Structure 1
Amino acid sequence: MLHDVWTVFWRDWIVLKRRLAKFIVSRMVAPLLYLVAFGWGLGRSISVSSGTYLDFLVPGILALNSMNISFNSVIPVHAERIYHKSLEEYLVAPIRPAAFVIGKVLAAVLRGLLSSAIILVLAYVFGAKLLLTPLFLLVLVLNCAIFAEIGFIAAMKIGTYEEMGQVNTYVLLPMSFLCGTFFSTGALPDLVRFFIELLPLTHTSLLLRSLAGGEAASVLSVGVLVLYALVCFWLANRAFSQLTR
């Protein structure tokens, strides 16, 4: 099983390694814009309960960025299934379906973590003060895994490239702005906040912000992320296994 997972992961790592320089440069653009526009520009006129708005903002950017990178890193599986018809190579290969899913998810997690590391370096350059702990890293890994699994499910279920784009529009984009990335969810109306707090990115933003500020992590939020990761993996594995029947 581990050998199968490593085989799938290694293939994606080889592709990433060949494009690593371009990957790093391209992943610096959006965080720089966020940090300049919100951290230096808008942030100077916003006060938060503790620290600066930049310290408040960076964990939200990390949550948002790791979501987008991890989800989009799995999107090529959709093209392999629908357009290139190369997914059949994995279907006939002597590897377990679960190993393929885990390998793809781990490759997406790696991309998400590399992109997050770039953001952290830029944040420290901009003067942010964040406390990094093993639990902070675990929350980032869980967030990357959840949205990589969601991306995998979408890649297995959606029929056209245009419909994949709609997932970004109707699912990821609303979460990007509403799930506590740029402001506290406490400012939202009660009914809206109830639904927003059911979403995984809200709990990631909350946990990263608490841990970066040296506060205790919410056990409920950690439990929600773990539950999302397990359920999404089961759904992703089930969706891929159905192709082998």
Structure 2
Amino acid sequence: MGVRRFGRVNWLGLWTLIEREVMRFVAVWTQTLLAPLVTAGLFVAIFTLAIGPRRGDVMGVDFTTFIAPGILMMMVIQNAFANSSSSIMVSKVQGNIVDTLMPPLSSGELVIGYLAGAVARGLFVALGVGAGFLLVLGIGIAHPLWALTFVLLGSAFLGALGVIAGIFARKFDQMAAITNFVITPLSFLSGTFYSVEALPDAMWTVTHVNPVFYLIDGVRYGILGVSDSSPWLGLWICMASTAAVSLVCWWLFRRGTRLKA
């Protein structure tokens, strides 16, 4: 009996891959969903106690309120990256990546499946951290659709980067190096804890070519209604960046780079 296909998409196979990717992080929710909430709370507590009372307002809002959206987005992108990268990395190390490559799934369906898992985890993290900020800090959402759009784009963008990292990394220490020296600096040095208008000219320029800056700035606009740049500009840059890295993922799956060797 052949695989049921509707049109040119293997819907059954695609849904199975998506379900697997989602259940991976749901099964260990204390590590994947609860831990980011605790980490976000610690960031807010530390910065509020150490800097908040002396920092004053930033862009018309108090410091704690200003950094909250940045911390939320930082948790989202780090967890979206971890979801796709760890999935591929673990499969390669355990030798069962063939179970994903052998079914009749196209390269595009593989990309969609992995990104769907990353987006789902990012969205769950955003909802949990956002609910915590609402209860503790009383922060609402000024523009819900903008906030949701940038959370989804951020999850997809970092999920695609996680796929690329998972494909190229051969050992867990290589993956740790990518996380520590690429993903963490990108999330920390993108306006998470400060307004980029306070940066020197050189750093201001470097920051504005970093797509993660627009993700954080876009979520800040969606939640607080203030931003360092135009949300429309950030939207187009994030969409283009996500499309570009997703295309790279598709190409890598199509060639079987470091997967079929």
TM-score above 0.5, yes or no: yes
Deviation at 1:221, TM superposition (A): 0.8
1:6 aligns with 2:15: yes
Residue 221 (structure 1) aligns with: 234
Q: Following superposition, which runs of at least 4 residues in structure 1 exceed 6 angstroms of deviation?
A: none
The 1:40–1:124 alpha-carbon spacing in structure 2 relative to 1, beyond 3 Å, is: farther
Question: How far is 1:13 from its partner?
Answer: 2.4
What root-mean-square deviation, in Å, do the aligned CA atoms of Structure 1 and Structure 2 show? 1.9
1:187-226 map, 5 Å: 187-215=198-226, 218-226=231-239
Matches within 5 A, 1:142-221: 142-215=153-226, 218-221=231-234
Higher mean Cα deviation, 46-55 or 85-94?
Answer: 46-55
Cα distance, 1:15–1:151 mapped onto 2, change above 3 Å: closer
Given that 2:48 and 2:64 are in contact with CA atoms closer than 8 Å, whether structure 1 keeps it comes out as: yes
1:59 match: 69
- 1:235 aligns with 248
Unaligned runs of 5+ in 2: 1-8
Q: Is residue 69 from structure 1 mapped to residue 79 from structure 2 by the alignment?
A: yes
Aligned to 2:5: none
Given the superposition, is the C-alpha separation of residues 18 and 218 from structure 1 closer, same or farther in structure 2, using an over 3 Å criterion?
Answer: closer
| Deviation per residue, 1:60-93 (Å, 9 max, x gap) | 0122111100001112212212x11111112111
Aligned to 1:107: 117
Measure how far apart 1:215 and its partner are.
5.0
Deviation, structure 1 residue 227: 0.4
Secondary structure of residue in 1 paired with 2:23:
helix
Deviation readout 1:146-171 (Å, 9 max, x if unpaired): 00100101111222221111111221
Aligned mate of 1:127, from 129, 137, 157: 137
CA distance in structure 2 between the aligned counterparts of 1:136 and 1:146, rounded to whole angstroms:
15
Matching residue's letter, 1:35: V
Relative to the length of structure 1, the TM-score reads: 0.92
Gapped regions of structure 1 (runs ≥ 5): none
Structure 1 position 173, deviation (Å) = 2.0
Contact 1:204 1:225 in 2 (8 A): yes
Aligned residues: 244
1:112 positional shift = 1.0
